[in-house]
Amino acid sequence: MNGPMTLTRLIARPMLASMFIAGGINSLRNTEMMAERAKPVTDMIVPWAKKVAPSAPVPTDEKTWVRINAGVHIGAGLALATGRAPRLSALVLAASLVPTTAAGHRFWEHDDKSARANQQTHFFKNMSMLGGLLIAAADNNGKPSVAWRAKHGAGTVRKEAKRARKQAKRAAKR
């Protein structure tokens, strides 16, 4: 290991992923209950998905969506935890967290203050995890990003071309 950030990544990624792995397993164990909670979201997603990809086999029942989401959480969670494609897995988890949160923590629908407060806490916990996932998705292990390398590579090429032109002019004068 070469520094504290590497150690931080080694510890932080599994910590961040743990909630997704545990949640995915929980969803598989409690598919029926989760499907009821997912219905308002799947009722919105299914028609949209069919419109966007009319020839794709879009599942229509909530249980299938819950199982797919659970598989995504477990698979991408394990990938993030083990450092396999961490940026991609963090991005996949971030994308899946939005409908998961919308389905599971609709605090605005609760009249009971205690239930509302509980769901609101979970909603904002998920928003915090979303922030962590977006940071993880942007983390490039301290290496320059592709955009930075392209920009600086172009600058280096321009400098080298300018230097070559000057050398060619000097050689031509001789």
pLDDT at 73: 97
pLDDT at 146: 66
Band of pLDDT at residue 167, cut at 50, 70 and 90? confident
Question: Which tens digit of pLDDT belongs to each residue from 5-59?
Answer: 588 888 999 999 999 999 999 999 999 999 998 998 899 889 999 999 999 999 9
| First-to-final CA distance of the chain | 54
Average pLDDT of the residues of the chain? 88
Q: What is the pTM of this model?
A: 0.73
Structure tokens that stand for 99 in this block? 């409908």
| Nearest in space to 100 (alpha carbons), one of 24, 49, 46 | 24
Helix, strand, coil content of the chain in percent (nearest 5): 85, 0, 15
Q: How many CB atoms lie within 10 A of CB 137?
A: 19
Each domain of the chain, given as residue ranges in start order, spans: 4-143, 144-174
Q: Is the pLDDT of residue 1 over 80?
A: no
Q: Which residues 6+ apart lie within 8 Å of 156 measured at CB?
A: none
